[in-house]
């Protein structure tokens, strides 16, 4: 039987964010946010059909502005968060009203005669362009093309932008990163701020992500060349990794099934695996990319699979069997048949090098309903949806 090929879809606007829908268990869906200065921006809901023949799109108007980052609620597939930037031009009008003599009259009724005065626009003053940045909490509603606004957080800062808005694993909180701070906001209460975490750094925050272990009480924050873990209950430091992906760390992700393991990526062209208990030396370094690496994502089920996307226009899929939950589990088991022999097991190796993109790949994601499907988006709006190859899948499943 012929191996399924990747599917491609072209969005007409620039884009740099794509996410799966973890709460959607039936359909293969991805969300893409557009990033256009000149045209109205959209949230694009892409669906792959069951026969793996085509991708269809539904568009939702995003009135807030350019979408730099997105997230999808882990408990409701219709709820999304967007980090946006809008450029606003301020202008002031000075007017002169000639009250000396009406230019004409209009009848309001048979009894009242209303004078109409000439209004002269004397001057229009254009101020500087100002940037508004914030986070929108939205609902995708039925067949409508407009998002339903649930809440807004608008940054008071006139510089920088909102970097990320990450749902807590419970779906009830959100971590909003703005410049050098992370706000813990209540999703159920109009994004009201519960706590604030400040980072002492001249460089802005690059990314933040919740640790899915320990009840999700730790938030990891990446900035400059540092990744710092903060206990959101006590607001105390939980761990700190320094000299990460120098000159700048761009993104990070926790292994969903193995405690203490986190992957980082950045401007050194590398993906690095760390044990947050022993931060002096990395566990493993991957050097596949030839330019900055912008995104790294563990597979939510089969955690030995790791995606990375970079501005070299490439997407890589790696197997990290030695650091996976399956490897830890297998240490306690005795091999009982040939299916668990080394030749039938994936090791630490590159599985795929995807080169269908022509511009920088800023984001990648795994599907919420199928752990073998993943997608990526490049800046020109090209979306590539792919499957883990069958022989790799069988090796992971020991079939």
Q: What is the pLDDT of residues 284-298, one digit of tens each?
A: 999 999 999 999 999
> What's the whole-number mean pLDDT along residues 144-163?
90
Q: What is the pLDDT of residues 309-327, one digit of tens each?
A: 999 999 999 999 999 998 8
Q: What span, in angstroms and rounded, lies between the C-alpha atoms of 104 and 115?
A: 6
First-last CA distance in the chain: 17
> What's the whole-number mean pLDDT along residues 339-359?
83
Give the model's confidence band at 89: pLDDT under 50 very low, under 70 low, under 90 confident, else very high. Answer: low
List residues bridging with 96 in a β-sheet: 120
Per-residue pLDDT, 183: 97
> What's the whole-number mean pLDDT along residues 337-362?
82
- Which of 94-98, 162-166, 255-259, 263-267 is least confident? 94-98
> What's the whole-number mean pLDDT along residues 162-171?
97
> Looking at the predicted structure, is the pLDDT value of residue 220 above 80?
yes
Per-residue pLDDT, 118: 46
Per-residue pLDDT, 160: 80
Torsion sign across C-alpha atoms 71, 73, 74, 78: negative
Per-residue pLDDT, 342: 55
Number of CB atoms found within 10 A of residue 172's CB: 14
Q: What is the pLDDT of residues 231-287, one digit of tens each?
A: 999 999 999 999 999 999 999 999 999 999 999 999 999 999 999 999 999 999 999
Per-residue pLDDT, 314: 98
Per-residue pLDDT, 110: 45
Q: What span, in angstroms and rounded, lies between the C-alpha atoms of 264 and 294?
A: 10
Per-residue pLDDT, 381: 98
> Looking at the predicted structure, is the pLDDT value of residue 348 above 70?
yes
> Looking at the predicted structure, is the pLDDT value of residue 339 above 90?
no
> Looking at the predicted structure, is the pLDDT value of residue 210 above 90?
yes
Give the model's confidence band at 373: pLDDT under 50 very low, under 70 low, under 90 confident, else very high. Answer: very high
> Looking at the predicted structure, is the pLDDT value of residue 144 above 60?
yes
> Looking at the predicted structure, is the pLDDT value of residue 66 above 70?
yes
> 3-state secondary structure string, the chain?
CCCCCCEEEECCCCEEEEEECCCCCCCEEEEEEECCCCCCEEEEEEEECCCCCCEEEEEEEECCCEEEEEEECCCCCCEEEEEEEEEEEEEEEEEEECCCCCCEEEECCCCCEEEECCEEEEEEEEEEEEEEEEEEEEECCCCCCECEEEEEEECCCCCCCEEEEEECCCCCEEEEEECCEEEEEEHHHCCEEEEEEECCCCCCEEEEEECCCHHHCEEEEEECCEEEEEECCCCEEEEEECCCCCCCEEEEEECCCCCCEEEEEECCCCEEEEECCECCCCCEEECCCCCCEEEEEECCCCCCEEEEEECCCCEEEEEEHHHCHHHHHHCCCCCCCHHHCHHHCCCEEEEEEECCCCCCEEEEEECCCCCCEEEEEECCCEEEEEECCHHHHHHHHCC
Q: What span, in angstroms and rounded, lies between the C-alpha atoms of 344 and 173?
A: 42
> What's the whole-number mean pLDDT along residues 26-45?
96
> Looking at the predicted structure, is the pLDDT value of residue 9 above 70?
yes
Per-residue pLDDT, 45: 98
> Looking at the predicted structure, is the pLDDT value of residue 33 above 50?
yes
Instruction: Please state, rounded to an integer, the average pLDDT across all residues of the chain.
Output: 89
Q: What span, in angstroms and rounded, lies between the C-alpha atoms of 189 and 169?
A: 17
Q: What span, in angstroms and rounded, lies between the C-alpha atoms of 175 and 164?
A: 8
Per-residue pLDDT, 327: 80
Domain boundaries, the chain: 7-397
- The CATH superfamily of 7-397 is YVTN repeat-like/Quinoprotein amine dehydrogenase (2.130.10.10)
Q: What span, in angstroms and rounded, lies between the C-alpha atoms of 246 and 19?
A: 26
């Amino acid at each position: 039987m012929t191996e399924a090929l990747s599917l491609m879809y072209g969005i007409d606007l620039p884009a740099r964010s794509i996410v799966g829908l973890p709460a959607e268990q039936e359909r293969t869906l991805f969300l893409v946010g557009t990033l256009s200065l000149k045209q109205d921006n959209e949230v694009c809901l892409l669906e792959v059909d069951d026969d793996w023949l085509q991708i269809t799109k539904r568009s939702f108007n995003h009135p807030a502005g350019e979408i730099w980052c997105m997230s999808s609620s882990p408990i409701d597939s219709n709820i999304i968060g967007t980090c946006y930037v809008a450029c606003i031009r301020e202008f002031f009008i000075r007017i002169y009203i000639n009250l000396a003599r009406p230019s004409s009259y209009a009848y309001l009724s048979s009894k009242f005669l209303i004078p109409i005065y000439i209004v002269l626009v004397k001057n229009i003053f254009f101020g500087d362009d100002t940037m508004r940045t914030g986070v929108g909490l939205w609902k995708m509603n039925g067949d409508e093309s407009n998002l339903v606004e649930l809440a807004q957080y608008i940054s008071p800062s006139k510089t920088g932008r909102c970097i990320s808005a990450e749902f807590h694993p419970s779906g009830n909180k959100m971590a909003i990163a703005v410049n050098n701070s992370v706000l813990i906001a209540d999703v159920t209460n109009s994004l009201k701020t519960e706590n604030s975490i400040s980072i002492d750094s001249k460089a802005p925050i690059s990314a933040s992500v919740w640790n899915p272990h320990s009840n999700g009480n730790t938030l990891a924050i990446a900035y400059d060349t540092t990744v710092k873990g903060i206990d959101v209950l006590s607001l105390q430091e939980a761990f700190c990794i320094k000299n990460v992906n120098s000159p700048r760390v761009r993104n990070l992700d926790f292994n969903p099934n193995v405690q203490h393991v986190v992957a980082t990526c950045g401007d050194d062209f590398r993906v690095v695996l760390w044990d947050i208990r022993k931060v002096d030396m990395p566990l493993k370094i991957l050097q596949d990319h030839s330019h900055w690496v912008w995104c790294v994502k563990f597979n939510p089920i089969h955690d030995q699979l790791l995606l990375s996307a970079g501005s070299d226009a490439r997407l890589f899929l790696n197997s990290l069997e030695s650091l996976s939950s399956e490897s830890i589990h297998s240490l306690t088991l005795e091999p009982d048949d040939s299916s668990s022999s080394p030749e039938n097991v994936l090791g630490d190796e590159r599985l795929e090098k995807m080169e269908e993109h022509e511009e920088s790949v800023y984001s990648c994601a795994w599907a919420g309903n199928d752990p073998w499907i993943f997608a990526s988006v490049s800046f020109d709006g090209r979306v590539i949806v792919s499957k883990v190859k069958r022989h790799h899948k069988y090796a992971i499943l020991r079939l």
